[in-house]
Chains A and B, each alone.
Chain A
């Protein structure tokens, strides 16, 4: 009678609950990862600060982790990192934004099918390959012939910055293109109706309207450039120094971490511990940039 007609789904089968819990746990795994990163970095960095004065670490400009007399002034690595990332952005911002404008407003479907794969291919190249390119092509065949052998060596911040710039260009291009495409057609047509030329529409309507996405893309590119390891490791050399001269050989934070792990360093030694302090600095710096990028999107987003 009635029991036969009772719908099966009135009581929720227990498997449904179990599945939901399993799915939730999968999503929560990311939080575990984050907590793991923060705990490991914080714990090991505090260990390091028992032996090295944190003030000397954050304000010192001399870095010599393995060679006596030791010095742990992280600014030498930070300056190298900022130098490389700065050069990268000087290259990637114009290349990325011009590509984005081309894709969003200028390109005919035929040009698009040519331009998109170029950007996607560059984005897909493993970064170690770009490091190889810096050492074997950019330095010997472009920089040394132009600047002269006495002015620039085989390893330089400039060579590293150029390949990192290539590496982050697709990132700027794709996020900025999305932002420019999101500008409604009506706004463009309004400007055209007032007699604006295509360039004026792009410069005075599309660009300002898409500025939040464009800024976000640039900050993300900066964060990516700061965190890049393999290309920089090969290209910039291994000489940590506090300089903003792009022709010098420098060392970035990531390249230092890589170099220590490549070497025969004993795991309990002070130079191995310094790796975690540098890692923590890198983590905080990139996290701040990523949060800033998200803030830009929310703060300046105009809903159309």
Chain B
């Protein structure tokens, strides 16, 4: 027993030789990584800059009042954007008018009414899966349902209804987020005053969630105006030289007009295509600014 090995704890300082903090090298790796992060953002910024510079350099010379108020023409110098602007406006209005009430109602049901049953879980899962369905698939559905079955034909009304189906999951998800952000005290306060459930939801919770809901709705409408794939199947791809009537006759929208012009080989058509892109980007900017203003102004008096 006495001959047992001495305690194995090493003498003080014995580990120093083996433990290499190598701080310099590790810090250098970190710096290199930070550089890579900045480089990634740099690449994105560069791509964005090139895109904008190219579009503006090509498009600005073509952008004037005649372009905004004219109709498409086989000659680029006389071509205008008005039918596409009106078509996009019609689709946007239909999407806004339908997806606001339906989207908010669906979100209210899922957050304020639904109990945790299998059917409600199915509704929830279904909506998040719909948000991931490729947009062109909605075009196939719209073609079968609105154009053929309901006999609406390839009109901007059918386009608006198709786009509403595409946008609804986005509006519902944004509205659910906004409603969930309202604290329960708001609900209990309304109940304490004797409100029914619907009075509580419509007069207490909804106003508090309105800024978030409106922001989500405006951004969804921006997406509806920029999206074009489903409308290819709803017949938006024709040469339209008149202002579209929503319930009959053909129509076109801004992104489809860009597609048609940019597939022409002549450089001048690339020019008016770029001019139309500037108009779309300007619209996006206006809608995004509007969303920001709504969020700030409506939420000014809400504090929790």
Contacts and interface: CB of A to CB of B under 8 A. Distances in A.
Tell whether A pairs with B: yes
A230 B229 contact: yes
Nearest to B54: A137
Given A34-B130, A94-B40, A234-B262, A125 B281 contact: yes
A276 B129 CA distance: 20
A41 B263 CA distance: 29
Nearest to A21: B109
Nearest to A196: B26
Interface residues of A, number: 84
Interface string B16-40: 0000010100110110011011111
A20 B232 CA distance: 37
Given A30-B168, A261-B237, A275-B140, A128 B105 contact: no
A229 interface: yes
A126 B288 CA distance: 13
Contacts of B45: 118
A197 B27 contact: yes
B182 interface: no
A13 interface: yes
Interface stretch (B4-12, B78-86, B192-200, B244-252): B192-200
Interface string B113-132: 11000000011001111101
A118 B44 contact: yes
B44 A40 contact: no
B132 A223 contact: yes
B222 interface: yes
A106 interface: yes
Contacts of A13: 196
B136 interface: yes
Interface in A194-220: 195, 197-200, 202, 220
A101 B34 CA distance: 9
A287 B55 CA distance: 35
Contact of A226 (B134, B262, B277): B134
Contacts of A224: 132
Given A26-B109, A40-B140, 4 more contacts: A8-B194, A26-B105, A228-B134, A257-B140
